[in-house]
Structure 1
Amino acid sequence: MPASYTFDVLCSLDGYGSFGPEGDWGGYWGKQGPEFLAHRAEQYAAEMQLVLGAATFRMFRKFLGALSRDSEASDPVNTRMKFQPTTVISSTLDEPLDWPDVQVARGDAVEIVTELKRQSERPLRSHGSLMLNNALLNAGLVDYLQVAMFPVLTGRTGTGAIFAAVQDFDLELVSERVFDGRIVELTYRPTAHLSSGG
């Protein structure tokens, strides 16, 4: 049975994954809380294979590069993300990458992830990596779409429109949770929308 693939993304209510240089929100838009962070730490403690695009991996290197195994006590979410087995799909990164347990896969992302799903003994999970995951969603390779929505609108400063390049999809709600009374996590099973031909 193929490994499942989860596209995991954090966003503002209006669908942006980050904010531009004029924004002053800070990490998690300043809205994270203990329930949400404990949940994320638990998610990233599970066995998985991370799949990232080059831009997200470069961001990981910049912001998580100094973390060591000892950092888990103070920053369990990012430390666990850094030390997961990771595949980076890129034609521009050169190895070695100075990153624990990482391999670069070159070529067509759809073909690479199709093969990863066939071969992996662990579930596959990707955080962010919008261009990559929009393409994989359109190709029917995303089994679960997990969206953590933060209570902010970033119409002026928002960047990274999450679903700017996706086709039409019907979404079956698999789970819904609210953390810290303000962050809503929705997990969906996407299916390409079949037009009625009208």
Structure 2
Amino acid sequence: MRSISVTMFVSLDGVVQGLGRPDEDTRGGFPHGGWGPQYNDEVMGREMAKGMANAGDMLFGRRTWEDFHHAWGRATDGNPFTKHMNAATKYVASRTLSNADAWENSILLRGDAAETVAELKARPGGNLAINGSATLVQSLHAAGLLDRYTLLIHPLTLGTGKRLFEGPAPLTKFDLTETTTTPKGVIIAHYTRT
């Protein structure tokens, strides 16, 4: 059985919305887009590269898949993240996409995310990694399908925005397996479900 790992950039008050750019995700009138890049540094880059080295296939919700496709799918910058993103098998869970042909190596999972991902998880293959995709993460967490979290906890509060854990979820316990603190104050915490 495959395992599913999640990597999320989160504020101290749990917000995961609009990390990268002012226009990334303005749903609900979110005014703080682009809050994350000021905290990027060498330590964070090195830790993210370690995660990429162990990654198998990628799993996305529709919005994040579309955003990543626009950011990474067309890039020709020689960045190792770009090469990894384009080469990886990418599963996209969506009820609204008609196909996933726009980005190479993408496979559409139609229907209820928890059901289709549970079926995917049960099949042989590489482990699955989710970067972002908060709505998908919430759905899979509620279904008990997530095995590991890597949370990049940023030293700021936003007061508003989509939070990582909203709505009903089962009691789930995790062990803290590793932590790293970056020079800019981001705590990178790795948790494994017990």
TM-score, structure 2 normalization: 0.83
The DSSP-based 3-state class of the residue aligned with 1:114 is: helix
| Residue 95 (structure 2) aligns with | 91
Partner of 2:38 in structure 1? 30
Q: What SS does the corresponding residue of 1:44 show, helix, strand or coil?
A: helix
Separation of aligned partners in 2, 1:67 and 1:166: 38
Count of aligned pairs between the two proteins:
183
Partner of 2:53: 45
AA in 2 matched with 1:64: W
- 1:124 lines up with 2:128 in the alignment: yes
Structure ID, larger Rg: 1
Deviations 1:144-177 (A, max 9, x none): 122111111111xx42211112425343223232
Identity of aligned residues (%): 23
| CA separation of 1:47 and 1:16: change in aligned 2, threshold 3 A | closer
| Structure 1 residues 98 and 25, CA gap change in structure 2 (3 angstroms) | closer
Aligned to 1:59: 67
Gaps of 5+ in 2: 19-25
Letter in 1 for 2:152: A
Q: Normalized per residue, which structure has more strand?
A: 1
Q: Does the CA contact (< 8 Å) of 1:90 and 1:106 recur in 2?
A: yes
Take 1:53 and 1:25, find their aligned partners in 2: how far apart are those partners? Answer: 20
Amino acid at match of 1:11: V
Q: Residue deviations 1:49-82, cap 9 Å, x none?
A: 11111111121123223213xx33xx33354234
Q: Which moved more, 1:176-185 or 1:133-142?
A: 176-185
For 2:192, which of 156, 171, 189 is the aligned residue?
A: 189
Q: 1:24 to 1:162 in 2, by over 3 A?
A: closer
- Cα 1:82–1:160 change in 2 (3 A) is farther
Q: Which stretches in structure 1 are left out of the alignment for 5+ residues?
A: 192-198
Query: What is the CA-CA distance between 1:124 and the residue it aligns to?
Result: 0.9
Q: Deviations over 1:32-61 (max 9, x none)?
A: 110111221231233411111111112112
Secondary structure of the residue aligned to 1:175 is strand
Is residue 154 of structure 2 the alignment partner of residue 142 of structure 1? no
- In the alignment, the residues of structure 1 paired with residue 117 and residue 176 of structure 2 have an alpha-carbon distance, to the nearest angstrom, of 23
Contact 2:177 2:192 in 1 (8 A): no
Distance 1:25 1:56 in 2: 15
The DSSP-based 3-state class of the residue aligned with 2:111 is coil
- Over the residues paired in the alignment, what is the CA RMSD in angstroms? 2.2
In structure 2, how many angstroms separate the alpha carbons of the residues matched to 1:170 and 1:141?
11
Contact 1:173 1:186 in 2 (8 A): no
Aligned-partner residue type, residue 18 of structure 1 = Q
After TM superposition, give the deviation of residue 29 of structure 1 in Å: 4.2
